[in-house]
């Protein structure tokens, strides 16, 4: 993440609103959908997805349950503190996405939920697999069931989007479907709550500092409070930041650094951040990565004699562990 210039000479906060392609997953015109996805991936790596199959009623329930958790006293939430497998609660300032320009960590709190793998399963030995950390059903009845159902449904949406991405890269539609990829993925749901601390880039205060996501792609569900911004050209001086407007019933999809690497930098993983105003804001990103053992190396359709691979092969597990270590506080800092 090269974001050393994030705070320099910024545009007026609400001057620019980005116009993103909108992909209808229910459309029978696959050719058009693939064309729209490809254009978006070449331009910014951000686009909307509608008619994805998750009902608005259920989305509303997931957001209500998220709010119920964050409304708990801090003492209760800290009992569910993030563990070494990146499951559980992350307090305000836990994450530091832009250490060059941020005075503090992110002014947001979160909760990680991954693929549920019992302790007695051999896969539980892998860094991003294992049992989740769950609030007591006495405190939050139905909470776990809601989140597990949402995790499953969001993964199906991600697989549908991945097929369009594969086609846009001139690969077979099912390229990412295998067990070594999205058949047995590292898929992480994260609930986020921005508490209403007003962001001030000039003072290094952000809801979420400027960063690009780590993995294959992210599906983001938001409430109706604006806050997400993207910067299509991180090297521009001054940087131009554009707001991404919430779209009711849609996911905002963005590509991660892993796919940019996989595609030999043909597709874009774009710098983004969150500026908070004095309103509370809730969002739910769903981060999708391939299996731990997947070797990420330049796709065959993204290299040539004139454009050889820019990166060496790397195991997904190695890559993800490195990226998480770079951005989260040491767990020992919470021990007394």
Q: In the predicted model, is pLDDT for residue 229 greater than 80?
A: yes
Average pLDDT (295-318) is 95
Q: Indicate whether 270 pLDDT > 60.
A: yes
Show the tokens assigned to 293.
Answer: 């053992």
Query: CB within 8 A of 143, min separation 6: which ones?
Result: 65, 68, 69, 134, 135, 137
pLDDT of 326: 76
What is the predicted pLDDT for the residue at 330?
64
**Which DSSP category does 328 fall into?**
B
Residues whose CB falls within 8 Å of the CB of residue 289, separated by 6 or more in sequence, listed in order: 128, 185, 186, 187, 188, 214, 215, 216, 256, 258, 316, 320
1-32 confidence digits (pLDDT tens): 333 333 333 434 445 889 999 999 999 999 99
Residue 88 has pLDDT above 90, yes or no: yes
Residue 283, pLDDT above cutoff 90: yes
Q: Is the pLDDT of residue 114 over 50?
A: yes
Residue 214 has pLDDT above 80, yes or no: yes
pLDDT at residue number 332: 57
More confident of the two residues 74 and 12: 74
Share of the chain above pLDDT 70, in %: 93
Q: Are 321 and 127 in contact (CB under 8 A)?
A: yes
pLDDT over 50 (residue 104) = yes
Contact 20, 40 (CB under 8 A): yes
Task: Indicate if the pLDDT at residue 219 is higher than 70.
Answer: yes
Mean pLDDT of all residues in 135-142 = 97
Q: Using alpha carbons only, give the angle 160, 40, 322 rounded to the nearest 5 degrees.
A: 75
Q: In angstroms, rounded to a whole number, what is the distance separating the alpha carbons of residues 44 and 26?
A: 23
Pick among 3.50.50.60, 3.40.50.1100, 3.90.1150.10, 2.60.120.330: CATH of 22-329: 2.60.120.330
Higher per-residue confidence, 84 vs 219: 219
* Lowest-confidence region among 85-89, 95-99, 148-152: 95-99
Give CB contacts under 8 A, 24+ apart, made by 160-164.
160/25, 160/52, 161/23, 161/25, 161/37, 161/49, 161/217, 161/219, 161/253, 162/216, 162/217, 162/288, 164/23, 164/30, 164/33, 164/34, 164/37
Length of the chain: 336
Using one digit for the tens of pLDDT, what is the confidence trace for 168-193?
999 999 999 998 899 999 999 999 99
Domain ranges of the chain: 22-329
Say whether pLDDT at 70 is over 50. Answer: yes
Half-sphere exposure of 42 (CA within 13 A, CB side): 9
Reading the block at residue 131, the tokens are 């049992």
Sequence-ordered list of residues with C-beta below 8 angstroms from that of 185, at least 6 positions apart, any chain: 115, 155, 288, 289, 290, 291
d(C-alpha 60, C-alpha 63), whole Å: 5
Average the pLDDT over 267-285 and give the result.
96
Return the structure tokens found at 27: 């459309």
| pLDDT over threshold 70, residue 328 | no
């Amino acid at each position: 993440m090269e974001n050393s210039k994030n705070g320099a000479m910024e545009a007026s906060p609400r001057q620019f609103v980005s116009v993103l392609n909108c992909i209808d997953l229910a459309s029978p015109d696959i050719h058009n959908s693939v064309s729209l996805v490809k254009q978006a991936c070449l331009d910014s790596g951000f686009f909307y997805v509608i008619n994805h199959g998750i009902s608005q009623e259920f989305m509303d329930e997931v957001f209500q349950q998220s709010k119920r958790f964050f409304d708990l006293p801090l003492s209760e939430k800290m009992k569910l503190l993030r563990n070494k497998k990146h499951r559980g609660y992350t307090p305000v300032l836990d994450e530091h996405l832009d250490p060059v320009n941020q005075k503090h960590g992110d002014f947001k709190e979160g909760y990680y939920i991954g693929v549920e793998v019992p302790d007695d399963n051999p896969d539980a030995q892998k860094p991003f697999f294992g049992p989740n950390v769950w609030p007591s059903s006495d405190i939050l009845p139905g909470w776990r069931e809601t989140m597990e159902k949402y995790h499953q449904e969001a993964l199906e949406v991600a697989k549908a989007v991945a097929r369009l991405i594969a086609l846009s890269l001139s690969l077979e539609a099912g390229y990412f479907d295998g067990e070594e990829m999205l058949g047995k993925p590292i898929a992480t749901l994260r609930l986020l709550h921005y508490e209403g601390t007003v962001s001030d880039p000039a003072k290094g205060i952000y809801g979420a500092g400027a960063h690009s996501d780590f993995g294959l792609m992210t599906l983001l569900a938001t409430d109706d409070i604006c806050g997400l911004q993207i910067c299509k050209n991180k090297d521009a001086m001054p940087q131009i930041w554009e707001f991404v407007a919430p779209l009711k019933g849609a996911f905002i999809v963005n590509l991660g650094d892993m796919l940019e690497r996989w595609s030999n930098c043909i597709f874009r993983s774009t710098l983004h951040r969150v500026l908070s105003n004095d309103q509370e804001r809730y969002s739910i990103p769903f981060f999708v990565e391939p299996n731990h053992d997947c070797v990420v190396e330049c796709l065959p359709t993204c290299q040539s004699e004139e454009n050889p691979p820019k990166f060496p092969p790397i195991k997904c597990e190695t890559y993800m562990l490195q990226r998480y270590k770079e951005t989260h506080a040491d767990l020992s800092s919470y021990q007394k």
